[in-house]
Amino acid sequence: MIVLYIIRRPRIGKNEPPLVPYTIPILGHTFNYLFNIRKFIKECKKQYGECFSIYIFGEVVTVLSRDSLTEVFKSPDDFDFTSATNEFFPLKSLLPYNADVDIKFHAKTTREQISGKLDTNIGIIRKYLVRGIDEWIGDCNEPKTIHSAWYLVNRIIALPIANILVGEEAASHEDLVKSLGDLAFDLGPLLIIPPILFFIHKKLHELVITLPLRFGWNPVSRHREVVVNRLKPIVEKRLKEKDELGDNYKPYNDLFEYYMNRPDFDNTKPNNLHLHVDNLFAITFAAINTTSKAAVDALYDLAGRPEILDELYEEALIIDKECNGQVTVADVQKMVKLDSFVKESLRHSGNIIFLPHYVISKGYTFSNGLTIPGRRKIILYTEDMLKAKENFGEDAEDFKPFRFVNTNSPATKVDRSYIVFGGGKHACPGRFFAINETKMFLHKLILKYRVSTKSGKIEDKIYIGPLTSPSQSGIVFENRI
């Protein structure tokens, strides 16, 4: 303990943000971080200002609010998100076949092949959301209560995404869709293991959580097996068609076809299919759980506020009549009240501090004059920005569903204050897809059901350290007459 105390003792340089004092050596602020984060961080900011450092899991982490937070997004050469997340979540060990693939590849693919093809794919999104809702929520002539709705919403949201990623033929296999949908849920436990071993050495945490992987246990393996087995015959069929039809071959409109047309696709090489399936998993991981969380949070927000349901229903009815149920991207854009509601729901996602980054340059000096050294971990006080009165008005703390109507500020628009999709060069390229799917899901749901919470109250989210998970209480679905 003494050796640990000496080697892990925080050293704060000149002109750095202040280190919040703590009483228990080694442990520092870890307890507050895990169990009392909202109050703790709020008080730290009040006392120590915009930027301050806390001591958690054996390291100094600098917390940035408002203006300094914005500088992180503007300086991608100084701050890196991927290396900070890999520390908790060793995606490279979980997806070993594409370990060399850069995040830039997935960002470009998302931008061009997923968000960029919304107009073409909106019909698929519509068709499979309706199918998922009919199949898994179904007829609610008698009120039906669903608890822990995230899992169910995740299944529904995964269905159109699977169809867009691998095409309708492959996605007709239930086990494949289930594997893509379950992937992030199965990896979730790895994410919430507190990095206790960071107290000794950072690498030790990674070593221990990847130990089972070294002995052959990998939560991704069984999903990979399902997806490879389902895709293999489809790849062979497409290659045969290409061979036979030559220039007359009509490419399929899914992401896997895009992978198949890349120079690194070579079905004769061992494990080449595995590489592309791992690429698919990386996109799946970024796309499905995030979108389903946005959708289920919005669903709980809606169910707890019956007064807004009728207003959204009126809007949905008008648009539905205009397009006869065949909603296009232009129709989704017309859902301005729903857009504002989804944006407000995302603003209230409740994460307190989020998006850790490492300083990857030699050091960084903020415009307020404070300096942080290279290799320092920073974390963004996102709640502070998303609830700032300067940006959202005196009632910034309140949930006002139609706050953004007539403000020319759609849910997809990333700006200085609305940072749920990050910001700058690395702002989420999948946000156009995610918002369109979430809105389409809620639109179809509002037309079909009355929803309410079983308790009749607005349900609180569950906190896991500084991050939230959707409520697990019951939601009641009832057919509209």
Which of residues 62 and 438 has its CB atom nearest to ligand HEM in the complex? 438
- Does 428 show up as a binding residue in the annotation? yes
Which of residues 273 and 380 has its CB atom nearest to ligand HEM in the complex? 380
Smallest distance, Å, CB 167 to ligand HEM? 16
Residues that bind ligand HEM (CB under 6 A): 73, 81, 103, 106-107, 110, 114, 283, 286-287, 290-291, 294, 420-423, 426-431, 433-434
Query: Residue 388 burial (CB < 10 Å; 0-12/13-18/19+)?
Result: middle
Which of residues 76 and 363 has its CB atom nearest to ligand HEM in the complex? 76
Q: How far apart are CA 141 and CA 134, in angstroms?
A: 13
Smallest distance, Å, CB 230 to ligand HEM? 20
Which of residues 426 and 443 has its CB atom nearest to ligand HEM in the complex? 426
Q: How far apart are CA 110 and CA 290, in angstroms?
A: 14
Q: How far apart are CA 78 and CA 319, in angstroms?
A: 46
User: Tokens 């050469």 — which residue?
Assistant: 77
Q: How far apart are CA 358 and CA 316, in angstroms?
A: 44
Q: What is the DSSP string of 371-387?
A: EEETT-EEEE-HHHHHT
Nearest Cα neighbor of 342 from 397, 382, 401, 287 is: 401
Is residue 342 within 8 A of residue 294, CB to CB? The reply is: yes
Smallest distance, Å, CB 209 to ligand HEM? 22
In which element (H, E) is residue 51 found?
A: strand 51-56
Which of residues 200 and 414 has its CB atom nearest to ligand HEM in the complex? 414
Smallest distance, Å, CB 478 to ligand HEM? 27
Which of residues 110 and 279 has its CB atom nearest to ligand HEM in the complex? 110
Query: Residue 345 burial (CB < 10 Å; 0-12/13-18/19+)?
Result: buried
Smallest distance, Å, CB 289 to ligand HEM? 9
Q: How far apart are CA 405 and CA 315, in angstroms?
A: 13
Smallest distance, Å, CB 196 to ligand HEM? 26
Which residues contribute to the annotated binding site for heme?
Answer: 428
